[in-house]
Chains A and B, each alone.
Chain A
Amino acid sequence: MSGILIDRLNVWFGEHERRVDAVKAASLLVPKGGSFGLVGESGSGKSTILRALSGLVPTWTGRMEVLGTPLGKKRDRRFYRAVQMVFQDPYASLHPRHSVDQVLGETLSLHGFRDIDARISRLLADVGLGPAFRFRYPHQLSGGQRQRVAIARALAPEPEILLLDEPTSALDVSVQAEILNLLSDLRRERNLTYLMVSHNLAVVGHICSDIAVMQLGEIVETLSVQQMRAQDTRHPYTRHLLESSLGAIKSGAQG
């Protein structure tokens, strides 16, 4: 069964002469339990695909399926249980006046769980936070700890699919390593499906097995991470992206 299927997706903003086509005829397939990366520069439409998939943008045409179920304009509760999103900036995505306990408790009660107390403890343990963090507020947490809370919130309804929008780009490299390890562990343990957006090819290469390269709203190339590492690309833009990422590493290593 497919985890996520997107077929000739168009997304636009605005009407008539002000219409901007943010995504043009994008197609991709993520098998269940797979991990797929979307790369490209800002404005290339990669985040828009995530937003359309999660129901945050109503103006789209094409076909989208999640776990074999076609998606309409309206999403039901089952969808929101199965699909959760982790945002880029943990400083902006947590309510500043809600404690960790409230953040997780609210999500759990919205999804109709009964044993909220036990679940909060377990969620915190799952993302590597001790019970001491439960009654803290976001300003009392570091960036990495906040992102762990955001991941815990996404895991609360026991989703099968996580949409990750630049989950580590606001973090330090040492903290980024911790979060990336956590994400790999969670995927393995729970057989989650990831669709991840990032502009950092090394990060995508670490988490994902396949990637799609986007430019100006179109998917210009889809390739496996092995192909990307071997620089086995057909599209000049992919090569340009690879060179700008590898260039920094190479010139540093060789002097």
Chain B
Amino acid sequence: MTQAPDANLLEVEDLWVKFPTRSGIFDAVRGISFSLGRERLGIVGESGSGKSMTGRAILRLIRPPGRVTAKRIDLEGQNLMDLSERQMRAVRGQRISMIMQDPKFSLNPVMRVGEQISEAYRLHADTSKAEARRKSLEMLEAVKIRDPELVFTLFPHEVSGGMGQRIMIAMMMIPDPKILIADEPTSALDVSVQMQVLEIMDNLVQDRGMGLIFISHDLNLVSAFCDRVLIMYAGRVVETCRADRLHEATHPYTRGLLNSLPRLDAPVDRLEVLKRDPQWRDEHSISGQT
């Protein structure tokens, strides 16, 4: 943490994720490189493109028989690939945390919301129960929950999807991590709630000067919400661009994805269907380093 403030938080070089299968080794991620500063980096692609695997690989959450290899995954100058499993546990949650798609599956169903948030805090900070409670209530307020005292005592099944996801955000933010990886954080939510949750996440990330990796299949959302985008196809990065320029992307795969979206403001008779070029698989991965 002795680095200059403009240094990248995360540097990933030549990351591979491999799974042995009966018909040989399957490469889910094939040698991608990118960096993350204090910015919002979007990773888009279809299911199976390796975007979620990339997020998990950074936290070394790929379980055997899956294997992760990389030249380096540097978090503020420290290579995560060299850490023991025990040391990794201190990284997860405290320095890099992750929000998954569906709060229903990522919150403990038999534990009160407040206890879960307090637990997350007490795991990483050595404090009393009362202090953890105070912090948790503060955090619930920060994610715009109107009655924190009440929500603190609820069970996950008693809250709505949007509120569940805000609770997840509170839980992930409370140890004050440097990097947040959000894997489809709003796909399980309604359009109207989606924007609200994104806004809350965005404010927290910006206020704390964090880096955000935003994994999504929704091109419009990523384009509106992120600073920079990596477009993944078959385990590789096929294109990278500024998020607000996503609609001017040139790679035929990105173009195909964009054109296959129905648009309210530009109705068409038939939607364009993506024609996959086998060559895309073999192209070299584009570096997302800055």
Contacts and interface: CB of A to CB of B under 8 A. Distances in A.
Nearest to B188: A42
Given A41-B191, A173-B217, A248-B221, A202 B262 contact: yes
A200 B217 CA distance: 14
A41 B264 CA distance: 18
Interface string A244-255: 111111011111
A167 to B, nearest CB: 13
A141 interface: no
Contacts of B47: 143, 172
Contact of A177 (B221, B267, B274): B274
A203 B267 CA distance: 10
A41 to B, nearest CB: 4
Nearest to B243: A252
Contacts of A229: 264-265, 267
Interface in A163-205: 172-178, 180-181, 184, 199-203, 205
A173 B191 contact: no
B195 interface: yes
Contacts of A205: 262, 264, 267
A132 B235 CA distance: 28
Contact of B217 (A172, A244, A248, A252): A172
Contact of A181 (B243, B247, B267, B271): B271
Nearest to B244: A255
Given A173-B217, A184-B270, A252-B246, A247 B195 contact: yes
Contacts of A95: none
A228 interface: yes
Nearest to B219: A173
B191 A199 contact: yes
A8 interface: no
Interface string A223-255: 001001100000000001110111111011111
B216 to A, nearest CB: 11
A10 to B, nearest CB: 24
B88 to A, nearest CB: 32
Interface string A118-141: 000000000000000000000000
Contacts of A254: 244
B22 interface: no
Contacts of B219: 173, 252
B262 A180 contact: yes
A98 interface: no
Contacts of B79: none
Interface string B209-229: 000000001111101100000
A73 interface: no
A241 B272 CA distance: 26
B273 A41 contact: no
Contact of B264 (A42, A184, A249, A252): A249
Specify the main secondary structure of chain A where it touches its partner.
Answer: helix
Interface string B258-272: 001111110110111
Contacts of A228: 264
A203 B262 contact: yes
B281 interface: no
Nearest to A203: B262
Contacts of B128: none
A244 B198 CA distance: 12
A248 to B, nearest CB: 4
B104 to A, nearest CB: 13
A174 B190 CA distance: 21
B262 A245 contact: no
Given A173-B219, A174-B256, A41 B270 contact: no
B262 A252 contact: no
Contact of A252 (B46, B220, B268): B220
Which among A143, A172, A246, A248 has the highest number of chain B CB atoms within 10 Å? A248
A206 B262 contact: yes
A173 B245 CA distance: 19
A63 to B, nearest CB: 30
Interface of B: 46-47, 161, 190-195, 217-221, 223-224, 243-247, 256-257, 260-265, 267-268, 270-274
5 contacts: A177-B260, A177-B272, A178-B273, A202-B261, A206-B262
Given A41-B192, A173-B257, 19 more contacts: A41-B190, A172-B47, A173-B46, A174-B260, A175-B46, A177-B272, A201-B264, A202-B264, A205-B264, A206-B268, A206-B271, A225-B267, A228-B264, A229-B267, A247-B224, A252-B244, A252-B246, A253-B247, A254-B244
